[in-house]
Structure 1
């Protein structure tokens, strides 16, 4: 149970870090400004950040569970 809690906390931290990094990168590459200078809500950039954030969180959860199980067996 302890392994899953630690892995969950690690994956939440990875989720937050990845979402912020991907959103900032997507916002830099595709800024939410129209041709005449008006700003709008960058829903596409938010969606991209959510997708990559959740994928990285799932991947980090499985990797951290594997690493912690190996350490526990020793």
Structure 2
């Protein structure tokens, strides 16, 4: 429940009780749902970034080892 105070009404302040209703989507609060989706997306982005870092580091190390091996062989 909330109160709206409006100075626009003649004769002073007008107060009216208002029922605040939360917007729900399939029984779940839409704000909670959007926060949950945001957390999931950030987590997926972090996991993908970590995997790309590991793969690129492994490839670079492998190339470095290969380069050093062939350099010694010459």
* TM-score class normalised by the smaller sequence: 0.3 to 0.5
Query: Relative contact order: is structure 1 or structure 2 higher (C-alpha 8 Å, sep ≥ 6)?
Result: 1
Higher helix share: 1
The answer to which structure has the higher strand fraction is: 2
Question: Considering only CA atoms, is the larger Rg found in Structure 1 or Structure 2?
Answer: 2
What TM-score does the superposition give when structure 2 sets the normalisation length? 0.42
TM-score calculated relative to the size of structure 1: 0.42
